[in-house]
Structure 1
């Protein structure tokens, strides 16, 4: 399965989310770089990140976005969102771990997401997560913040 299309679609979606949901100041002041990397394990057990031009079913892909404040003043209270591509399932791993998730693209909550089923509160399967959002309280001038989430190719 090629991830090139998924990466381009994710990049466009991230740009739309940043432009629509960020403040006008934040949209003009933020530069975003998006990377997709396959994660494999070295013999010593450490993770190896390789640029993901394609990935096969079952492989882990990390999407990492670096947001840089390009203006000479700090930016505060910016929400950045990374959608989870339709052909991927979120693994539950996100950095920073303060991310909130959504199953509908509108309502975000702390993870794990929960719902009532037959009167019991149960965890929502990670396969139903559609996007993650991080709230950046303060991004100083000329500084960067990065966020990432791991997915598995379906």
Structure 2
């Protein structure tokens, strides 16, 4: 069984998780990150189970919940989650409006595309490194969540 450490991965995600305009103080936004194993039952119903260790091939969902802790709305909030080095993005995100990057700098809608031998092709999910969501409005004292699924390599 591969040693999967969600706390280390959570730290990586939290370090790169929030891009706020400089008008917001550091304590205006609280972020909670969870890592859960994605489990489907015989009927296809999905559930999420906290995970500490996971073998290769296990699907893990990273979910970040952002809470506006002040009594003012936050507008145009961009939040990012990196895809940990020992994981491969599955293509599943929530909300679906996420953009992706292979370099952590340039973002585009999913699926990412590039030109190879004169043809436009999809970039494999294995090359995705970071996802970003633009939250237009996070009302005062409210929360918004974003999530991505990965597979343990």
Report the TM-score when normalising by structure 2.
0.93
Bigger proportion of residues as helix: 1
8 Å contact from structure 1 (residues 18, 27) kept in 2: no
Cα separation, 2, equivalents of 1:93 and 1:115: 20
Moved >3 Å (runs of 4+) = none
Task: Pick closer, same or farther for the CA change 1:17–1:74 going to 2, 3 Å.
Answer: same
Task: Pick closer, same or farther for the CA change 1:99–1:27 going to 2, 3 Å.
Answer: farther
Cα separation, 1, equivalents of 2:84 and 2:118: 31
Q: Which residue of 1 aligns with 2:120?
A: 121
Aligned positions of 1:1-154 closer than 5 A: 1-4=2-5, 7-18=6-17, 21-24=19-22, 25=24, 27-154=26-153
Question: What are the ranges of 5 or more consecutive residues in structure 2 without an aligned counterpart?
Answer: none
8 Å contact from structure 1 (residues 31, 68) kept in 2: yes
Provide the aligned C-alpha RMSD in A.
Answer: 1.3
Question: What are the ranges of 5 or more consecutive residues in structure 1 without an aligned counterpart?
Answer: none
Cα separation, 1, equivalents of 2:25 and 2:138: 10
Equivalent residue of 1:112, what SS? Answer: coil
